[in-house]
Amino acid sequence: MDNRPIGFLDSGVGGLTVVRELMRQLPYEEIIYIGDSARAPYGPRPAQQIRTYTWQLVDFLLTKNVKMIVIACNTATAVVWEEIKEKLDIPVLGVILPGASAAIKSTEAGRIGVIGTPMTVKSDIYRHKIQALSPEMDVTSLACPKFAPLVESNQLNSSLTKKVVYETLQSLTGQVDTLILGCTHYPLLKPIIQNVMGPQVKLIDSGAECVRDISVLLNYFEINRSRDKQELRHRFYTTASAKSFADIAKVWLNRQVDVEHVTL
């Protein structure tokens, strides 16, 4: 048993898609979240900068005495997950392996698509992880640089967003039977993405898949939170506007949350 909170980090609000799934599957765990919206998106930035920023978020979470860190950001996972996991003595999870693993189980034709930020796609990490497990898989990756900024600005269902998603994904339609949403912002656009790709394409939410792994690791390391009556006190932090973050969180988590602005 370990009643300390689980720490989540993301370049912005995308990691809330992982938090929502955690609240559903593991409602008794307490959450500390830090989103770096002031510097989002991370996707187009150079790797060294992503590394520095991500370590700042990790260090912030460590001051909050977390028992586990979830890098709820594909870009940061691609660049620096292994390094962080190696250096810390608490479990550190990324979102890429759970997504890759779920896609392999899901695909029937062996044709997997991956959409992500420019950095995630450039790193080619999904192809690398998928083909290491299953060499015969065909993996097609596509950078969607406009998606995360649309989500950060809370345009989840605007006609502009629909147009951008439609135009961006054209080259993938009909090419894959499984599509990895390789950025935690993208599940916020899931209905539009599903509509463009067609109902037969299975969308893999890398963040949701990651929560199943969180559950197993809480068991394995014996650090579940006791389900007593003690009230949970989730805490959310952002490097940008607390109000904007709270607005998106309210819609996405279907609850009011306290958000505090911080400077790193």
- Is 183 in the active site? yes
How many residues lie near its own copies (CB under 8 A)?
Answer: 23
Q: CB atoms < 10 A from the CB of 143, how many?
A: 20
Q: Per CB under 8 A, which region of 6-14, 65-73, 156-164, 207-215 contacts its own copies? A: 207-215
Q: Which strand (E) or helix (H) includes residue 117?
A: none
Q: Which residues of 8-20 are buried (b: 16+ CB within 10 A; e: fewer)?
A: bbbbbbbbbbbbb
Report the nearest approach of its own copies to the CB of residue 82 (Å): 8
Report the nearest approach of its own copies to the CB of residue 36 (Å): 25
Distance CA 53, CA 45 (A): 10
168 is in an annotated binding site: no
Burial class (CB in 10 A: 0-12, 13-18, 19+), 198: exposed
Binding mask 70-109 for its own copies (x = CB under 8 A): ---------------------x-x---xx--x--------
Residues 6+ away with beta carbon under 8 Å from 82: none
Q: Is the Cβ of residue 25 or residue 195 nearer to its own copies in the bound state?
A: 25
Per CB under 8 A, does 27 bind its own copies? no
Asked if residues 249 and 257 have their Cβ atoms less than 8 Å apart, the reply is yes
Instruction: State which of positions 102-161 bind its own copies (CB under 8 A).
Output: 132-136
Beta strands in 126-210 (DSSP E): 138-143, 178-181, 202-205
Binding mask 211-230 for its own copies (x = CB under 8 A): -xx-xxx-xx-x-x-xxx--
Distance CA 141, CA 199 (A): 20
42 is in an annotated binding site: yes
Q: Is the Cβ of residue 157 or residue 230 nearer to its own copies in the bound state?
A: 230
Q: Is the Cβ of residue 74 or residue 239 nearer to its own copies in the bound state?
A: 74
Measured in whole angstroms, the distance separating CA 149 from the mean position of its chain's CA atoms is: 15
- Catalytic residue chosen out of the listed positions 73, 102, 142, 189: 73
- Is 144 in the active site? no
Question: Residue numbers of the site for its own copies (CB under 8 A)?
Answer: 1, 91, 93, 97-98, 101, 132-136, 212-213, 215-217, 219-220, 222, 224, 226-228
Query: Which residues are annotated as catalytic?
Result: 73, 183
